[in-house]
Amino acid sequence: MKILVTGGLGFIGSHTVVELINAGYDPIIVDDLSNSNIKILDQLEKIIGLKPAFYQLDLCDAQAVKDFAAKEADLAGIIHFAAYKAVGESVKEPLKYYYNNFYSLINILKAYDGKPLNFVFSSSCTVYGQPDVLPVTEDAPVKAAQSPYGNTKQIAEEILKDIVAAGTGYKITSLRYFNPVGAHQTALIGELPNGVPQNLVPFITQAAIGKREKITVFGDTYNTSDGSCVRDYIHVVDLAKAHVAAIKLMEQPAFSGYDVFNIGTGNGSSVLEVIKAFEEATGVKLKYEIGPPRDGDVEQVWGDVSKSTEKLNWKAELDLSTMMSSAWNWEKYIAQNPL
Ligand code: WQD
């Protein structure tokens, strides 16, 4: 069965393509290559033994999307990753984010409108802001977004709920990711940040390999066990498997129109704990300094994942040490084999 994977050459998309093949699906990748590398297609072939179907496509081009949908009409489902996702950049360039993240979503939904398709949306724990109660559950109040990026996720979820309510034929699940990190166990695919990494773990691995002089811990005076921020880090392979579980859930007749799931481990780790976990997993000593808190950071967030375990029949299996060692293996691989 064909599953369209938009943004399928990206970090989470590429890992999801592998898990779709492992589950017997036939993924079709579309990607505009604005934040991904075409060579990931060759890397995927090395892992799965075949080159998945790929179309370079700008999802903001309505006619091109319509033409694509005419060519690839018989899909069983769509997993929609394609979006800009840098929080800081979204504050500086909100129009770029609203234009891209909404037009791409709306064009793909319109192109297959009316067809009984299963649709998985890549959402984010960012919608919760700083939860009042931890761990945060899916029925926690969605707070005012702290960035245009987070706002695009919140509004997109509302668009999807309205579509299902209108009975257009789509069945939809929104997956609220916590913090995806790590890399495939083959070290052939992983995170490819553009320029200076904004996220913690790619910055750690680049510091470990010597590309960055030291890590700055953004604040250690928070109301947490060691003063640094707490997040729910999840291995990207576990996250990828959650997308396959969501497709399978929607294939069941019992599934009704729309649902939302927290995709995390249910455990929180502080920045300093992640640094320590990396050193213990890899034997590499890291240099870091404490800097000022980063604007927009929430103090602590981790997910209640009981609904995903019970209803999505999915649970994260890989631990923080495996997340760190796999991220390190990937960093060493691309140092030797630049893409
Ligand atoms: C994690 C922690 C930083 C870098 C982002 C997106 C979110 C989601 C996950 C898509 C924070 C600290 C970081 C550094 C540091 N993406 N940090 N030094 O901000 O929790 O979430 O990725 O769905 O939408 O916002 O991830 O990795 O940037 O930061 O101390 O050099 O590490 O302050 O506490 P974040 P992050």
State the average pLDDT over residues 44-59: 97
Predicted local confidence at residue 47, as pLDDT: 98
Residue 145: is its pLDDT beyond 90? no
State the average pLDDT over residues 50-72: 98
State the average pLDDT over residues 254-283: 97
Ligand 1 neighbourhood includes 72 CB (under 6 angstroms): no
Ligand 1 neighbourhood includes 146 CB (under 6 angstroms): no
Atom of ligand 1 nearest to the CA of 293: 33
* Best residue among 231, 290, 298, 299 to mutate for probing ligand 1, ranked by most atoms within 8 Å of CB: 231
Q: What's the 178 CA to ligand 1 centre distance in angstroms?
A: 10
Q: Taking the C-alpha atoms of 314, 189, 126 and 293 in order, what is their torsion angle to the nearest 10 degrees?
A: 130
Residue 53, token pair as written in the block = 């179907």
Residue 256: is its pLDDT beyond 90? no
Ligand 1 neighbourhood includes 198 CB (under 6 angstroms): yes
Predicted local confidence at residue 88, as pLDDT: 84
Contacts of 24 (CB under 8 A, 6+ apart): none
Contacts of 276 (CB under 8 A, 6+ apart): none
Ligand 1 neighbourhood includes 124 CB (under 6 angstroms): yes
What ipTM did this prediction achieve? 0.96
Ordered domains of the chain (ranges, CATH):
2-182+234-264 (3.40.50.720)
User: pLDDT, tens digit, for every residue of 159-168?
Assistant: 999 999 998 8
Considering only CA atoms, give the Rg of the chain.
19
Residue 169: is its pLDDT beyond 90? no
Atom of ligand 1 nearest to the CA of 217: 30
Ligand 1 neighbourhood includes 80 CB (under 6 angstroms): no
Give the pLDDT band (50/70/90) at residue 319: very high
Atom of ligand 1 nearest to the CA of 123: 23
Distance CA 144, CA 333 (A): 40
Q: Is 162 exposed, middle or buried (0-12, 13-18, 19+ CB in 10 A)?
A: exposed
- CB 75 within 8 Å of CB 111: no
Residue 208, token pair as written in the block = 């470990």
Predicted local confidence at residue 215, as pLDDT: 98
Distance CA 260, CA 264 (A): 13
Distance CA 68, CA 72 (A): 6
Instruction: Tell me how far apart the 2 most distant CA atoms of the chain are, in Å.
Output: 55
* Best residue among 85, 196, 218, 235 to mutate for probing ligand 1, ranked by most atoms within 8 Å of CB: 218
Residue of minimum CA distance from atom 10 in ligand 1: 124
Atom of ligand 1 nearest to the CA of 296: 19
Q: What's the 200 CA to ligand 1 centre distance in angstroms?
A: 6
pTM: 0.97
Ligand 1 neighbourhood includes 121 CB (under 6 angstroms): no
Residue 146: is its pLDDT beyond 90? no
Question: Side-chain half-sphere of 111: how many Cα atoms within 13 Å?
Answer: 27
How many other C-beta atoms can be found within 10 angstroms of the C-beta atom of residue 210?
A: 8
Closest CA to 151 of 83, 198, 197, 199: 83
Task: Point out the catalytic residue in the list 25, 84, 128, 149.
Answer: 149
| Percent share of the chain, pLDDT over 90 | 93
User: pLDDT, tens digit, for every residue of 73-115?
Assistant: 999 999 999 999 988 889 999 999 999 999 999 999 999 998 9
- CB 145 within 8 Å of CB 123: no
**Phi and psi, residue 95, nearest 5°:** -60, -40
How many other C-beta atoms can be found within 10 angstroms of the C-beta atom of residue 48?
A: 15
Q: What's the 169 CA to ligand 1 centre distance in angstroms?
A: 36
Predicted local confidence at residue 87, as pLDDT: 85
- CB 66 within 8 Å of CB 113: no
Instruction: Report angle CA 53, 185, 124 to the nearest 5 degrees.
Output: 70
149 as an active site residue: the answer is: yes
Which residues partner with 167 through β-bridges? Answer: none
Ligand 1 neighbourhood includes 229 CB (under 6 angstroms): yes
